[in-house]
């Protein structure tokens, strides 16, 4: 590999936000390690995982940050958002209150970042169809009105988990390459 090629490294920070227990940590562990934990207990502190995706023959790395329980105390600090190129805003389709709080989380991202941050609304736990409290269309409508991407996922059965992260990573890559070119 020439020096020039070696220099072309892409590393983007992505944050996961949303209410407690919507499945943020499990989405990340499912994506990065293909693991699910039914009794996950939040550890306090910040955790991140690095994942690589190949886009147009280039290795693109995403450093994906999990709040690791800080949101329980409304203590997600500006340092958490600093330098983020993308955000997954997660709610639980079986708990309406977590959907009602999406607006609050959006205000928070908006106040910490500019409009180029790729934002995706994620309705997690879509395996819990029997206890659904938030319709698919409601999620779609909210995302459309706020200019967000939208997807429903299940960290439990893996539905759309890879797609959710990779759509955000691809969008970031496209945003950045548009700026560079």
Among 13, 24, 112, 119, binds ligand GDP (CB under 6 A): 24
Among 10, 13, 17, 26, binds ligand GDP (CB under 6 A): 26
Alpha carbon distance 82, 138 (integer Å): 30
Size of the site for ligand GDP (CB under 6 A): 18
Q: Which of residues 39-98 bind ligand GDP (CB under 6 A)?
A: 40, 42
Alpha carbon distance 105, 29 (integer Å): 22
Stretch that binds ligand GDP, among 37-45, 47-55, 103-111, 114-122 (CB under 6 A): 37-45
Q: Does residue number 20 form part of the binding site for ligand GDP (CB under 6 A)?
A: yes
Please, what is the minimum distance in Å from the beta carbon of residue 22 to ligand GDP? Answer: 4
SS3 call for 137: helix
Give first-to-last CA distance, the chain, whole Å: 22
Alpha carbon distance 48, 159 (integer Å): 22
Burial of 55 (0-12, 13-18, 19+ CB in 10 A): middle
Rg (CA), the chain: 16
Among 140, 156, 162, 175, binds ligand GDP (CB under 6 A): 156
Q: Which stretches of the chain bind ligand GDP, using CB under 6 A?
A: 20-26, 37-38, 40, 42, 124-125, 127-128, 154-156
């Amino acid at each position: 590999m020439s020096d020039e090629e070696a220099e072309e490294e892409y590393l983007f920070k992505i944050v996961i936000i949303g209410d407690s227990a919507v499945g943020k940590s499990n989405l990340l562990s499912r994506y990065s390690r293909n693991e699910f934990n039914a009794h996950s207990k939040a550890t306090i502190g910040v955790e991140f995982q690095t994942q690589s995706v190949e886009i147009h023959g280039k290795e693109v790395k995403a450093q994906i940050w999990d709040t690791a329980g800080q949101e329980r105390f409304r203590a997600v600090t500006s340092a958490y958002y600093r330098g983020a190129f993308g955000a997954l805003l997660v709610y639980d389709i079986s708990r309406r209150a977590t959907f009602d709080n999406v607006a609050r989380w959006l205000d928070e991202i908006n106040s910490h970042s500019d409009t180029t941050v790729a934002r995706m609304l994620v309705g997690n736990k879509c395996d819990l169809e029997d206890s659904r409290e938030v319709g698919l269309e409601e999620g779609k409508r909210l995302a459309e009105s706020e200019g967000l991407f939208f997807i429903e996922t299940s960290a439990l059965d893996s539905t759309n988990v890879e797609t959710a992260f990779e759509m955000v990573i691809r969008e970031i890559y496209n945003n950045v390459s548009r700026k560079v070119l």
